[in-house]
Amino acid sequence: MPITADVRKFGDTLVAQGKVTITESTKPLYALVGVNDLAVEKLRGGLTVLQERGTKLQERVVALPQDYKTLPTTVKNYATDVTGKATAKLDELSNRGQKVVSQIRRRPATKRATAQTKQAKSSAKATKTSTTKAAQSTAQAVKEATSQLG
């Protein structure tokens, strides 16, 4: 291969590398322009949102005196509504609890436990009565014994 072909080939390689280098070196510049364009776009959108919010705020400020006048009624209505809902929920839960207790009372095990409790109560009452009578007779015996000694 003659030297001119080598030089030409080397020149072509340098030109190709130069194009790649130029392309690569412009990427950061284009990225910077793209970021700025995106920021401007977002700011314009944000400005629109801020303008809408400002308009809504102005409307609310205009409506405040009327809202202030109706505030006691609004609060009263809200309190009445909440109280009504709470009462309804309490009634609902009370009915539910009543059903559960009724179901438990109808169970055979509960009826047996109730009967055993009644029997234990009368046994305890009988024991109390007999213990009281025994204590009274013991006290009477002690009195009689002390009166005979003394």
- pLDDT tens per residue, range 92-147: 999 999 999 888 889 899 889 888 988 988 888 888 898 888 888 888 888 888 88
The domain segmentation of the chain, as residue ranges, is 3-114
Q: Which residues contact 104 (CB under 8 A, 6 or more apart)?
A: 110
- H-helix or E-strand containing 128? helix 108-149
pTM of the model: 0.38
- pLDDT tens per residue, range 81-100: 999 999 999 999 999 999 99
CA distance linking residue 127 with residue 130, whole number of Å: 5
CA distance linking residue 75 with residue 80, whole number of Å: 8
